[in-house]
Amino acid sequence: MPKSTEGPAQPESPAQPAVPAQPAPPQTPVSFEAALAELEAIVARMEEGQMPLEESLAAYKRGTELLQYCQARLKDAQQQVRVLEAGTLQDFPTDDSR
């Protein structure tokens, strides 16, 4: 009988539980227009109804992040206009009022 070169059986190391991949932190859009374009693309893909469930949930989450970003930028712009107009909105003259 040939001599075994293997040593005694080593106990198997306990299996490491699979660590779910951490989602990448959401990227901040470079501009309002870029965020709006990405949001429109997400809506179009979701309206097609062909996305798997997990992808749909991720797209919905990203869409809400983009919506919040756009709303915040619009609110900032509105505040800047208020400051520039010193808190009063002015009517623009029309051709008829001259």
Assess if residue 60 is contained within a domain: yes
Say if 38 falls within a structural domain. Answer: yes
pLDDT number for residue 75: 95
Reply yes or no on whether the pLDDT at 82 is more than 90. Answer: no
Lowest-confidence range among 12-26, 61-75, 83-97?
A: 12-26
**Number of folded domains that form the chain:** 1
Model confidence pLDDT, tens digit, residues 24-61: 666 899 999 999 999 999 999 999 999 999 999 999 99
CATH number at residue 65: 1.10.287.1040
Residue 56 lies in a domain: yes
Tell me if 49 is assigned to some domain. yes
Helix (H, G, I), strand (E, B) or coil at 40: helix
For residue 76, pLDDT beyond 90: yes
pTM: 0.61
- 3-state SS of the chain: helix, strand, coil percent to 5? 55, 0, 45
- Distance from C-alpha of 40 to C-alpha of 33, rounded to nearest angstrom: 10
Residue 1 domain-assigned (yes or no): no
pLDDT (average), residues 62-90 = 88
Domain annotation covers residue 43: yes
Three-state SS for 45-69 is HHHHCCCCHHHHHHHHHHHHHHHHH
Distance CA 87, CA 67 (A): 27
Q: Is residue 45 part of a domain?
A: yes
pLDDT score, position 43: 96
Domain that holds residue 55: 32-87
Structural domain contains residue 12: no
Per-residue pLDDT at 4 exceeds 70: no
